[in-house]
Amino acid sequence: MNKFSAPDTLSNQDGPLLPVKVVMIDLDGTLLDTADDLALAANKMLHELGRPELPSKTIQGFIGKGIQRLIKRSLTGEMDAEPDAALLAKAIPIYKQHYAENLTVNTRPYPGVIDGVDNLRKAGFKLACITNKSEIFTLPLLRATKLADYFEIVVSGDSLPKRKPDPMPLLHICQYFGVPPQQALLIGDSSNDTIAARAAGCPVFCVPYGYNEGRDARKLDCEAIIESLADATKLLQKLS
């Protein structure tokens, strides 16, 4: 399934965006299925705080706006509620410790990811990983899953003053590679990605298997839905 308005060009309201030279790829829900380990850490945190644990599926629906928001949602059981400030302050270091200790228990690359990044690199695209996850978790995850060497630059949630959905991380990567935003494609799984891409002026593909706070990624504002990362190179080459 794709959402292109024409079969031979990648475009949005501002006109043609190809040729793409840089591909920026989100981490959680796009490269790696981290949900089970995020949920494991959340439930260990809740247990340590003497609070009832939650189903893994429930916590998966909380993923998408960073660890602090995940902690808040796990504490309250709601998407937008605010927990007691003292409880939150106590919970954050507990969660981070448990997540660091269980970072790769169940986390694996999604099907097609290894072939996808390998094919993109062989096709000559410059690759960047862009995530809201803290660097202290991002880099060990990339190394453990054999993905680190594919990316020339990794921008984590604490690498810059702002993170997605702000366009700053995307524009930083464009500046790093010396390309205009129209030539830097973002691949992600959530509204954080599409909002950031639109603000930066970058094209964006979405995968349907990620988190997006439990909402259907096929409804996101993107140029295309790709069933797996392995489809990205074929689609880009077809359109270039």
Cis check: omega of the bond before 19, within 30 degrees of 0: yes
Set 26, 33, 193, 231: catalytic member: 26
Could you tell me the CA-to-CA distances from 146 to 114, 115, 117, 135, 142 in Å, in that order?
Answer: 9, 12, 11, 16, 6
**Cα of 15 vs its chain's centroid, Å:** 26
SS3 at position 189: coil
Check if the beta carbon of residue 82 is closer than 8 Å to that of residue 69.
no
How far is residue 103's CA from residue 180's CA, in Å, rounded to a whole number? 35
Examine the residue annotation and report whether 26 is marked as an active-site residue of this protein.
yes
- Other C-beta atoms closer than 10 Å to the C-beta of 105 total 10
Instruction: Using only the alpha carbons of the chain, give its radius of gyration.
Output: 18
How far is residue 157's CA from residue 31's CA, in Å, rounded to a whole number? 16
How far is residue 90's CA from residue 227's CA, in Å, rounded to a whole number? 40
How is 225-236 classified by DSSP, letter by letter?
E-SSTHHHHHHH
Catalytic residues: 26
